[in-house]
Amino acid sequence: MPMFFTREDSMRYAIVGSGAVGGLYGGMMAHHGKDVHFLLRSDFDHVRENGMRIDSVNGDFVLSNPNVYQRPEDMPRCDLVIVALKSTNNAMLADTLPKVLADDGIVLTLQNGLDVEADCVAAAPGHAVMGGCCFLCSNKLGPGHIHHLDYGRIVFGGYEFIGQVDRIEKLGKQIADDMQASGIDANWTEDLPAARWRKLMWNVPFNGLSVVLDASTDAIIGCPASRTLADRIIREVHAGAAFCGVSIDESAIEKTMRHTETMVPYDSSMRLDFLNGRPMEIEAILGNPLRAVERRLADRNADSAEKLAHPMPSVKMLREQLQFLDSRPDTASNLSG
């Protein structure tokens, strides 16, 4: 039974998508006594019998009897629903969120990419929606078994305030407190778009190129040609953010490259998806930023006699290449063979 269930001001949390991200953060919060409820699909039977196992760089633990559910209608109504599905599974949100959210419940999506919150807004009309960027290395090793290798910071902020900016910011800080009390380095931001675009400066080049070039990050930056290309893509994303009115300090360009140089050789989540034959988050990570830029471009070109150049031509091409690879039924086996 949850420990603080009866505390007046405590929040009830739902985790939708209990993989490498949702399983880890939800597991840490449950382990620290927060009131957490997990929606599971294929892992349900295994976790009900065996619990959840978290092997973490910060210390291993097992949740022997977590609150798990197989259907959203079986769950209690929750104050915060954390969405940590792959965004390629967002079609299930419309059936899930309305059944799990309390009347004034809030959604927090921890998915990768830009404007992934829009799917939650559409699936839970009238509810506030927050978005968060996670900086962590974590894998799901098997049913109910998460391996947390490194990092873990969350930067999250408001996306859809439903006119209640003050209330949402106050709740955001309360959620950050709950997470920090559970050992999670969670930080509320008042500028979610800047956090999103800042993370895209890494995700777009290194997720995308790692798939198209069949390479890990160290191989990409170890070759002058692909390093030049990665650098140009980083600059394009930075320029794309500015084009959309999101200002990021220029020092972030160099920091992104330097950070990647000092990382251990790393397979991006998109590459792991590709190699394992799973759909890739192409639209969340590349498609949505391109759409944001192209909407502005269309507006500005309509205003002016002169046609402006596309600020992210390499991102556009990278997306087309990924879409091709995503559409090939035989590609994963080609590359992992």
| Contact set with its own copies (CB under 8 A) | 212-215, 219-220, 223-226, 228-229, 309, 313-314, 317-321, 323-325, 327-328, 331, 334-335, 337
CB of 280 to its own copies, least distance (A): 13
Q: Residues 99, 170, 199, 255: which is the catalytic one?
A: 199
CB of 132 to its own copies, least distance (A): 30
Distance between CA atoms of residues 73 and 96, nearest Å? 8
Would you say 125 or 265 has its CB closer to its own copies?
265
Burial 162-178 (b: 16+ CB within 10 A, else e): beeeeebeebbebbbeb
Is residue 199 among the annotated active site residues?
yes
Q: Which helix (H) or strand (E) holds 274?
A: helix 269-275
For 214-265, the three-class secondary structure string (H helix, E strand, C coil) is: CCCHHHHHHCHHHHHHHHHHHHHHHHHHHHCCCCCCCHHHHHHHHHHHHCCC
Would you say 89 or 321 has its CB closer to its own copies?
321
Which residue is it, tokens 């619990």?
51
Would you say 173 or 328 has its CB closer to its own copies?
328
Would you say 55 or 214 has its CB closer to its own copies?
214
Q: Which residues partner with 130 through β-bridges? A: 108, 158
CB of 229 to its own copies, least distance (A): 4
Would you say 104 or 320 has its CB closer to its own copies?
320
Distance between CA atoms of residues 53 and 47, nearest Å? 9
Distance between CA atoms of residues 181 and 162, nearest Å? 28
Which residue is it, tokens 């985790």?
15
Distance between CA atoms of residues 36 and 108, nearest Å? 14
CB of 225 to its own copies, least distance (A): 4
CB of 276 to its own copies, least distance (A): 17
Q: Which helix (H) or strand (E) holds 12?
A: strand 12-16
Would you say 150 or 214 has its CB closer to its own copies?
214
CB of 306 to its own copies, least distance (A): 10
Q: What angle do helix axes 192-212 and 288-303 make, rounded to 10 degrees?
A: 110
Contact yes or no for 83/109 (Cβ under 8 A): yes
CB of 317 to its own copies, least distance (A): 5
Would you say 248 or 322 has its CB closer to its own copies?
322
Q: Give me the long-range contacts of 62-68 (CB less than 8 A, separation at least 24).
A: 63/27, 63/30, 63/31, 66/27, 66/30, 66/36, 66/38, 67/2, 67/30, 67/36, 67/37, 67/38, 68/37, 68/38, 68/39, 68/40, 68/44
Active-site positions read 199
